[in-house]
Amino acid sequence: MTLIDIGNTTACVYNNNHTQRILIKDFNLNNYKEKVFYISVNNNFNSFPNNFINLEPYFILDSNYKGLGIDRIASCYYIKTGIIVDAGSAITVDKMSNGKHLGGFILPGIQAYLNTYKNISPRLEYSLNTDINLKSLPNTTKDAISYGIITSIITSIKLYANNDTIYLTGGDSSILQKYFDNPIIEENLIFKGMQKLINDLNL
């Protein structure tokens, strides 16, 4: 079977343990003739072929959060207890405890942080130092920016993590992983949640 997560900028296609990211402008629903299970946050796709099955109506997550996105729901559905960090264009953080979603928050993604500095002043346009030492105050502008970005992300997450396991997913998860103790990298967490739902309901 094929699983597809349709976002606003890319569609992520999962088949036979292989993941492919396709830019939305190049994504064509008619290229898939097999059965497809999908979730979507992209409102530009209003009509789907008959072989496409939308999983969103089937997901039930114990949560008081209003407006939780289906991509976050799918990830949380797979994790019974822990902190789920999806580091993409935005960074979403969700806390699960014994199958209940306790809440979460959203931060800008790393590139969005960098763009903010650039928009303040051209002199603040730098790439991220991904090896910044958070135990030492920076002495260059590039390191000062990197320190501010990484510290704000890591501190916010650790505030609610306590001793819970941290699950990292998303394109920038490799940048964040070194700043946590023994995090678990789950590159295909959304698809694992989709697959679990399919198995649980025998869809």
Residues 26, 62, 71, 164: which is the catalytic one?
71
The runs of H, that is alpha helices, within 25-128 are 70-78, 110-120
What counts of helices (H) and strands (E) characterise the chain?
A: 5, 11
Q: Distance (Å, rounded) from C-alpha 30 to C-alpha 60?
A: 29
In DSSP terms, which residues pair with 169 in a beta bridge?
86
Q: Distance (Å, rounded) from C-alpha 142 to C-alpha 140?
A: 5
- Find the angle CA(19)-CA(23)-CA(29) to the nearest 5 degrees: 80
* Structural contact between residues 15 and 3, judged by C-beta atoms closer than 8 angstroms: yes
Is 26 part of the annotated catalytic residue set? Answer: no
Q: Which residues are catalytic?
A: 71
